[in-house]
């Protein structure tokens, strides 16, 4: 099941050709995107996703996305999606055509089903490896042209890291800086639970601010947890009560194995945090 809505509101066939071969998003990865979870007929954290889309577009010197048009496209996709099933809704915004810059951006919302693999990972947890990202924590401030912290379409490195994880017998990755500082996953933020406090690295080190991580922190604070946004190191993960990867579609996923070593059993803790997170979105 898939649904495709262009930003002008037109409904299109996702199995028919839609993107020009000279689109800069295709040729160069020159564009930005967001992935929104639709559950129970509601787009979770839509405003924050649109905020982040605007921020990423600004970092790439693209035109500001039309927020109301995106809201209408999201509503149209939800209207056409079967009730009772989740949807991963991708909002894609490219710079447009290389041959005709005046044509403006290419923009569409594509709704797809949540994969069986992700559903299984939510329930069973995942094995993760740490991989060095090749950057230091000051690089984002020194070199903004590297677009660290932007959600761009240039995901070649991220996907290469996921393939490396698979070669090592794992399902996902936690990137680290050269000094061992924890960054993020290729498609997720890192959250550590220890002693009644949730920790996550700060976006200032060149990572994407997490919408799901923020929702989890709000819910956890209501449930009596403390939360801190501060730098983490690999050794903080190994000695914690629980390590989790958070993203819109994976929600809160438990890490049960890190670099081939089994972590402390955090299934009960995961159930508590997952329930708190879901309470943030009643109905």
Q: Which domains does the chain have, with CATH numbers?
A: 2-114 (3.30.470.10), 119-278 (3.20.10.10)
Q: pLDDT tens digits for 214-227?
A: 999 999 999 999 99
Contacts 24+ apart (CB under 8 A), 134-142: 134/178, 135/177, 135/178, 135/183, 135/206, 136/177, 136/178, 136/179, 137/177, 137/179, 137/181, 137/205, 137/206, 137/231, 139/206, 140/204, 140/205, 140/206, 141/204
Mean pLDDT of 223-239: 97
Q: Which residues pair with 73 in a beta bridge?
A: none
Helix (H) or strand (E) holding 228: strand 226-229
Mean pLDDT of 161-173: 98
Q: What average pLDDT is seen over the chain?
A: 96
Mean pLDDT of 183-209: 97
Mean pLDDT of 26-47: 97
Mean pLDDT of 167-181: 96
pLDDT > 90? residue 164: yes
pTM higher than 0.85, yes or no? yes
pLDDT > 80? residue 280: yes
Phi then psi for 261, rounded to 5 degrees?
Answer: -110, 130
pLDDT band of 6, cuts 50, 70, 90: very high
pLDDT band of 241, cuts 50, 70, 90: very high
pLDDT score, position 254: 98
- Distance CA(31)–CA(87), nearest Å, equals 22
pLDDT > 90? residue 171: yes
pLDDT score, position 84: 87
Instruction: Compute the radius of gyration of the chain from its Cα atoms.
Output: 19
pLDDT > 80? residue 127: yes
| Sign of the alpha-carbon torsion through 67, 69, 70, 76 | positive
pLDDT band of 160, cuts 50, 70, 90: very high
Q: Which residue has the higher pLDDT, 101 or 249?
A: 249
pLDDT > 90? residue 282: no
């Amino acid at each position: 099941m898939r649904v495709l809505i262009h930003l002008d509101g037109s409904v299109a066939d996702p199995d028919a050709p839609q993107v020009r071969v000279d689109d800069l998003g295709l040729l160069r990865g020159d564009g930005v995107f967001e992935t929104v979870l639709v559950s129970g007929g509601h787009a979770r954290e839509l405003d924050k996703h649109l905020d982040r889309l605007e921020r990423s577009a600004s970092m790439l010197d693209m035109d500001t996305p039309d927020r109301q048009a995106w809201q209408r496209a999201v509503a149209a996709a939800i209207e056409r999606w079967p009730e009772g099933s989740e949807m991963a809704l991708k909002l894609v915004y490219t710079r447009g055509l290389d041959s005709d810059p005046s044509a403006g951006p290419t923009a569409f919302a594509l709704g797809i089903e949540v994969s069986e693999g992700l559903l299984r990972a939510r329930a069973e947890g995942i094995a993760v490896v740490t991989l060095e990202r090749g950057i230091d924590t000051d690089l984002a401030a020194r070199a903004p042209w590297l677009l660290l912290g932007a959600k761009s379409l240039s995901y070649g490195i991220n996907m290469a890291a996921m393939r490396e994880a698979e070669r090592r017998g794992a399902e996902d990755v936690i990137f680290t800086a050269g000094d061992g500082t924890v960054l993020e996953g290729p498609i997720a933020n890192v959250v550590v639970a220890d002693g009644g406090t949730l920790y996550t690295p700060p976006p200032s080190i060149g990572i994407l601010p997490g919408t799901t991580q923020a929702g989890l922190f709000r819910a956890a604070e209501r449930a009596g947890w403390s939360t801190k946004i501060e730098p983490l190191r690999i050794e903080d993960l190994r000695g914690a009560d629980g390590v989790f990867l958070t993203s819109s579609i994976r929600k809160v996923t438990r890490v049960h194995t890190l670099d081939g070593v089994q972590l402390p059993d955090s299934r009960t803790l995961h159930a508590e945090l997952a329930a708190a997170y879901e309470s943030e979105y009643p109905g």
